[in-house]
Amino acid sequence: MTEKRKVRKAVFPVAGLGTRFLPATKAVPKEMLTVVDKPVIQYVVDEALEAGIEHLIFVTGRSKAVIEDYFDIQVELDQTLRERNKKAEIELLEAMLPKAGTTSFTRQQAPLGLGHAVWCARDLVGNEPFALLLPDMIMKGEKGCLKGMVDLYEESNGNVVAVEECAPDQAHKYGIVGVGEPVGEGFRITRMVEKPAPGTAPSNFFINGRYILQPEIFPILEHQERGAGNEIQLTDGMVKLSETQPFSAYHFRGETFDCGAKDGFILANVAFALERADIRPVVEGPLKGLLERLK
């Protein structure tokens, strides 16, 4: 292992087809579906920026050009807003616009799994540690999940993954980690198992879609054989990397919404709407009425 370096770059794998949200995703990338009034991907990018990330790397696919356009200036819109003196809207868009030269886009030409998507970012990441954020997962807590991971990374060494607790009888649905000695707001990982058979999981801590990985993962992924689903699995690569480098788990204590699933997407909209002072007063009553009618 080389000496510890700052985590400056983040990778966002956004090439997925979003088939669970058809027919909407026939025309709109799933990452651009809105939670209240922001695309899902914006929440994830905001989490990365809060953690000090300086360079955003998107691994895209065909029909995802709208994501690249979203993180750019829309000239006609900007001009119209200025002509109409829409100062609040102009300030909002300017605040969300990445600085010039801080976003990069590369293509994953074939759907060969998360491990392959990460490998596609190898030249943009270079020889330095990087964060990986799954764009379907948006999180709500007192401290951003990735910010907590970066803090733990500064205390520990090697690689960091974020974990949460699930019901023990649900552990077979997730990537599960074994629990070692405490480290900061987490613990050392003793093993990683992808979807263990019922009753065999080493714990009920599951990986929730946030990672800080060292660049040594790239040559492992390059030569890795395909695993489950005939895809290059990131977990398989991490298991191999753990033979030579330590892994720590950051225990995220907050709410996570899987916006790649309809139920998680709906719950995220409700949760974030109720946090908004401009929206809660007009939706809280109707929501309670809907729930009453279900009794």
Average pLDDT over residues 110-119: 88
Over residues 156-169, the pLDDT tens digits come to 879 999 999 999 88
Q: For residue 76, is pLDDT > 70?
A: yes
Q: For residue 2, is pLDDT > 60?
A: no
CA atoms of 261 and 248, how far apart (whole Å): 28
Q: For residue 52, is pLDDT > 50?
A: yes
Q: For residue 214, is pLDDT > 80?
A: yes
Determine the pLDDT at residue 251: 95
State which fold the 9-260 domain adopts. Answer: Spore Coat Polysaccharide Biosynthesis Protein SpsA; Chain A (3.90.550)
Measured over the CA atoms of residue 119, residue 120, residue 121 and residue 126, the dihedral's sign is positive
Determine the pLDDT at residue 1: 47
Over residues 157-212, the pLDDT tens digits come to 799 999 999 998 888 888 899 999 999 889 999 999 888 888 888 999 999 999 99
Q: What residue ranges do the domains of the chain occupy?
A: 9-260, 262-294
pTM summary value = 0.92
- 173 CB-near residues (< 8 Å, 6+ apart): 166, 195, 206
Over residues 222-248, the pLDDT tens digits come to 887 776 666 788 988 999 999 999 999
Q: For residue 275, is pLDDT > 90?
A: yes
